[in-house]
Amino acid sequence: MKKKAMLVKTSIFLAIVFIGTILISNMLIADAFPLSNGVIMPQNCDYEEISQMEHGWEDYYHTGRIFYDDYQKIDGNASLALQTDLKDGKNIVAAKHSFPSTSFESRAFRFFVRVSDWRQVELFSVLMNSNGNWHDMYAVDIKPLFNIPNNNEWLEVVLSRSDLYEVRNPMWSDIDSIMFRLISTPGTEPTVWIDSFGSFESIKEPLVSIVFDDGMAVTYENALPVFEEFGVRSTCFVIPDLIGHPEDGFMTQEQVDKLSRYYGWGIGGHDWTVLTDLPIESKDGDPAWTRTLDETLSRIRQYLDEHNYPGKDCFAIPYGKYNQRVIDNLCKYFTYIRPHNLLTQPTGYVCQNEINSHLVASTTNMEDIQYWIDNAKKNNDWVILVMHRIVDNPREGVYTESSTEFLRQIIDYSLNIAEVNVVPFHEALEQYYPEN
């Protein structure tokens, strides 16, 4: 009996070791060969998948290559890949997906895209066919809408109907096919992967947020009085290292506190360094002032937490330069991250890591801003306008300066002509995530 019991125990032990070995091996394989980055499905916005990008796509031009890639994917079994081919002598390739006539009158769109080399992409567009006729369609070129996209990294794209322009007479109530089209620069063969394409309801009230980066003293001295004139508030993304240096044009700590405590502005995080240049780990011989990415983000978050500012969970990426390594580290410290993607943000769903916004520079004209705000009113969007320095007399050629009167015109147009509310950045986010 003892021998039999010993054999049973040995068998159980070996089985546990065997199963454990398999589990550990699978974990190691998954870490070494990630088959999917994982995809977070939009919640509470009636998200519907249009295509999982695994089947049903037609080679429209019969040029280049169209295939389903079961290795490079975000969700499901495969992604759709488009690649131009030098052998056919053409630098265009397109894939079309047809479906029964569908209304997108109150919806926005979301998908993921990955590109082997963005420099080799001349145009990458999304086309939505109306009335069964490609002469009547909505279209947008994706590439110029992103500040500095990284090669071979998945990018989540959230598109409002406002971001697509009309060609002839399309109707959002009658969309029956969608096309992705890639045109490469001559002599190149880039690959574009698309995955997890769907739509979501975007029917919440339109909003405008005018936000300021850096924490310049002119935000307090010149912008604040304009907001007070109209009885609305803003958000300022400050650089903690530079607060208290009025000699360099930045706000004092007292001004930041008053902006938040007395005037009700949101205060988020920002920095003066290019985050992609910061090391992950410190090295022997580094100068004393050198900080790693984690140390930099930790210091910024600590500053915001110590003052308990509304908006402390929000961060604006300096210079709009980031990659997946930066995003992964940012997510340890901040919930809402805003790069410089030149898109309007639909209501209903927001990608917390890449919140869309419009950069307002000295070259931005009032007609463009009115167009963004009018479309926000029409399509129930949230328009985020990013500004820097507000001065009475902007210097010629200074990209970051806008006039006090220009700011006044933006707020007046939003409130009194378009009749769209102007709210701080962090308060607009409460419409997406009210539980937070």
Each residue of 118-144: pLDDT tens digit? 999 999 999 999 987 788 999 999 999
CATH 2.60.120.260 intervals, the chain = 48-201
Task: Determine the pLDDT at residue 262.
Answer: 97
Sign of CA dihedral 383, 387, 393, 398: negative
Residue 31 scores a pLDDT above 50: no
Task: Determine the pLDDT at residue 23.
Answer: 34
Residue 20 scores a pLDDT above 80: no
Task: Determine the pLDDT at residue 368.
Answer: 96
Distance of alpha carbon 136 from alpha carbon 126, whole angstroms: 14
Sign of CA dihedral 102, 106, 112, 114: positive
**Averaged pLDDT, 148-152:** 90
Query: Of 385, 26, 28, which is closest to residue 212 (Cα–Cα)?
Result: 385
Residue 187 scores a pLDDT above 50: yes
Task: Determine the pLDDT at residue 9.
Answer: 41
Residue 32's pLDDT band (boundaries 50, 70, 90)?
Answer: very low
246 contacts 252 by C-beta, under 8 angstroms: yes
Q: Which CATH number fits domain 48-201: 2.60.120.260, 3.40.50.620, 1.10.1740.10, 3.30.450.40?
A: 2.60.120.260
Residue 80 scores a pLDDT above 60: yes
Residue 85 scores a pLDDT above 80: yes
Task: Determine the pLDDT at residue 24.
Answer: 34
Task: Determine the pLDDT at residue 288.
Answer: 64
Residue 264's pLDDT band (boundaries 50, 70, 90)?
Answer: very high
Residue 306 scores a pLDDT above 80: yes
Report percent pLDDT > 70 for the chain: 89
Residue 147's pLDDT band (boundaries 50, 70, 90)?
Answer: confident
Residue 282 scores a pLDDT above 90: no
Residue 104 scores a pLDDT above 70: yes
Distance of alpha carbon 180 from alpha carbon 195, whole angstroms: 11
Residue 43's pLDDT band (boundaries 50, 70, 90)?
Answer: confident
Task: Determine the pLDDT at residue 137.
Answer: 96
Average pLDDT, the chain: 89
Residue 34 scores a pLDDT above 50: no
Task: Determine the pLDDT at residue 95.
Answer: 97
Residue 21 scores a pLDDT above 60: no
**Averaged pLDDT, 191-204:** 96
The angle at the Cα of 389, spanning 418 to 320, to the nearest 5 degrees, equals 85
What is the assigned CATH class of domain 207-429?
Answer: alpha beta
Task: Determine the pLDDT at residue 435.
Answer: 61
CATH 3.20.20.370 intervals, the chain = 207-429
Task: Determine the pLDDT at residue 382.
Answer: 97
The pairing of beta strand 235-238 with beta strand 65-69: unpaired
Residue 101 scores a pLDDT above 60: yes
